[in-house]
Amino acid sequence: MKMFDSAAFEAHEDVHSFYDEKSGLKAIIAVHSTALGPAAGGCRMWPYADFQAALTDALKLSRAMSYKNAMADIGLGGGKSVIIGDPRTGKTPELFEAFGRAVESLGGRYWTAEDVGVSPADLAHARKTTRYVAGLEGHAAASGDPSPVTAEGVFRGVRLCVRRALGRELDGVTVAIQGVGHVGAYLAEKLAAAGAKLVVADVNEAALRMVAEWTGARIVAPDEIFDVEAEVFAPCALGGAVNAQTLPRLKARIVAGAANNQLAGPEIGQALFERGVLYAPDYVINGGGIINVAGEIRALEAGTAFDAHWVAVKLDRLTETLEEVLDRAAAEKRPPHEVADATARARIAAARAA
């Protein structure tokens, strides 16, 4: 076990592993930083091959949450939890109650929420044993589905990039959207309303048909989305959409979308920069969802109702932050992803020092 030497470790404050014999829970909670506030990040349930794979994922995701939360300016640090197990067969109420006890044992240093493989119904079981859970339904502080807020932030980010890189408004601009799920579908609606021409791809036929009906989007096969003649490529499906194979195929001048980890690696960010493609760093442009969750944590901590105005103000600020990152990248002739990382690290370091 080489946790401290792992590239993903990067100064985590604490990393915990939990085992509960009765429920069979095997979980890791990684707390990257609490400098800006309690660490917040979802819980992922996945059938990891072994403990090392789970640990590496927890560390990577936790650090990513730290950066995302720092850029969203929401008074939260970054953390993440993973449960080792198959979400299709391994879920029981007892497992999530045991997970809740694990979260509770950190005394509020970490707030959990849903992520891949974990639903609000699962979290309701965790809530029986800890109060540090966001993303539940049916209470005054509840924030609801974050996807519309994420989509609004991404929409504004795309509009900003189009203004900067193309010197025009969205009317008549072609946007290729990969993935029209929760966020992609809302984004498609907003872009169509602004006059953009859409080309969409998804592996889910029903979702595609619905979005095409609403927006008049042209449908292409999943693999064809990389070859589309479009000014903007908006990855809104899974991670790694822009990689060594797809990059040479892209015609877009802008890459801006909702997906997490859009670039297969930092070298792809460098390659986009060298090709003159404007890239909106994913964890900045898609921060609307975590802002929404932060609204819930804030309300739960204060014992008040969810404050949609606070979320709206933070979302405005998020677009300004994206603009500042792009300004600095242009002024320093550096790729935006590098500037975003540097800005996030500086914000965390300044809070640590204070």
| Separation between Cα atoms, residue 95 and residue 129, nearest integer Å | 11
Q: Which of 69, 78, 60, 118 minimizes the C-alpha distance to 288?
A: 69
Q: How many CB atoms lie within 10 A of CB 202?
A: 22
156 binds ligand NAD (CB under 6 A): no
Would you count residue 201 as binding ligand NAD (CB under 6 A)? yes
For the bound state, the minimum distance from the C-beta of residue 210 to ligand NAD, rounded and expressed in Å, comes to 11
**CB of 195 or CB of 222, closer to ligand NAD:** 222
Distance CA 354, CA 351 (A): 5
Least distance from C-beta 152 to ligand NAD, angstroms? 10
Does 41 engage in binding with ligand NAD (CB under 6 A)?
A: no
Beta bridge partners of 278: 254
User: Of 68, 80, 190, 197, which one is the catalytic site residue?
Assistant: 80
User: Of 257-316, which residues contact ligand NAD (CB under 6 A)?
Assistant: 258-260, 286, 289
Under the binding rule (CB under 6 A), the answer on residue 184 touching ligand NAD is: yes
Contact positions with ligand NAD (CB under 6 A) in 43-102: none
For residue 80, indicate whether it is catalytic. yes
Q: How far is the CB of 233 from ligand NAD (least distance, A)?
A: 12
Give the residue carrying structure tokens 């502080």: 141
Q: Which is nearer to ligand NAD, 171 or 224 (CB)?
A: 224
Stretch that binds ligand NAD, among 40-48, 50-58, 178-186, 318-326 (CB under 6 A): 178-186
Please, which residues have CB within 8 angstroms of residue 137's CB and are 6 or more apart in sequence?
120, 124, 144
Interaction of residue 236 with ligand NAD, rule CB under 6 A = yes
**Residues whose CB falls within 8 Å of the CB of residue 95, separated by 6 or more in sequence, listed in order:** 20, 23, 24, 25, 83, 85, 125
Rounded to whole angstroms, what are the CA distances from 16 to 79, 116, 183, 295? 11, 20, 32, 26
CB nearer ligand NAD, residue 206 or residue 353: 206
100/215 with CB nearer ligand NAD: 215
Q: Does 178 bind ligand NAD (CB under 6 A)?
A: yes
> Shortest CA distance to 179 belongs to which of 234, 139, 134?
234
Positions touching ligand NAD (CB under 6 A) are: 146-147, 150, 178-184, 201-204, 207, 222, 236-238, 258-260, 286, 289
